Amino acid sequence: MTAPEPFGARLRRALDARGPLCVGIDPHPALLTEWGLGDDIGGLERFCATAVEALADRVAVLKPQSAFFERFGSRGIAVLERTVAEARAAGALVIMDAKRGDIGSTMAAYAGAFLDKGSPLFSDAVTVSPYLGYGALRPALDLAAAGGCGVFVLALTSNPEGAEVQRATSAGGLSVAQGVLDRLAADNAGATPLGSFGAVVGATLEEAGADLAINGPLLAPGLGAQGATAADLPRVFGGVLRNVVPSTSRGVLRHGPEVAALRAAAERQAAEVARFTGA
């Protein structure tokens, strides 16, 4: 049996072909209201179907935030399943923004939920939290590698509260974040054209203050509603700009519900990112 193409290679091709942009599918109650939709399962279904129709055939990456579906219970999860499957069928790569983190068989179960091809929630990649120890992520990393999927590990997040943990230093003098980044670099060693294990590094940071050369993708949330702009990317990411996957959610979604308006907003954002990253 032929081994599946690694996620890093698929992501590199998608970014080169469609532009360096990830759009989050975040069905905030406020966004549903702005679109004239109810904060209910019908509104959720319409919101997601419109976002997929508008974006999945032209944006490199879509990133549904699992929490906004989970709040509707099993019917919300059913919408998430359809959203992921339809987005992937239209050609977008899907990063499930779930930020799971646990140990042993529980971590393996989380990995299976999002990275096993037999799962109804199967995605191209998933976000995970390393704060029970990087080694506890091994079930997700191993399953991703075997199946050609990706994993994005929280490293330097866009929320200010994250610094108290991520900037803390270990006995060896490294920050917690740098320790995570170093482990990612080791796991990506030798991969071409790009490793499949990425880090989440906020575009809102004043500066990274860490070595981001992990030979893997850097998911950069924070464009738009959180205050970052494309002009901030060179300052934060420097020499690894080519590997950055800038992410925006409300910055595009607030232009809905018209399909044409969503497409135009995504195109403007992608062009702005390309201007500052040279992509």
Which three-class secondary structure state does DSSP give residue 244? strand
Report the percentage of the chain scoring pLDDT > 70.
99
- Summarised one tens digit per residue, pLDDT across range 65-123 is 999 999 999 999 999 999 999 999 999 999 999 999 999 999 999 999 999 999 999 99
pLDDT confidence tier of residue 279, bands split at 50, 70 and 90: low
pTM: 0.97
222: left (phi over 0), alpha (psi -120 to 50) or beta: left
Q: Which amino acid is at 3?
A: A
- Summarised one tens digit per residue, pLDDT across range 62-81 is 999 999 999 999 999 999 99
- Summarised one tens digit per residue, pLDDT across range 193-243 is 999 999 999 999 999 999 999 999 999 999 877 889 999 999 999 999 999
Structure tokens at 68: 């906004």
Distance of CA 178 to the CA centre of its chain: 20
In the annotation, is 117 catalytic?
no
C-alpha distances out from residue 129 to 136, 178, 264, Å: 10, 14, 33
Q: Which residue among 13, 28, 58, 99 is the active-site one? A: 99
- Summarised one tens digit per residue, pLDDT across range 147-157 is 999 999 999 99
CA distance 126 to 20: 18
Topology classification of domain 7-274: TIM Barrel (3.20.20)
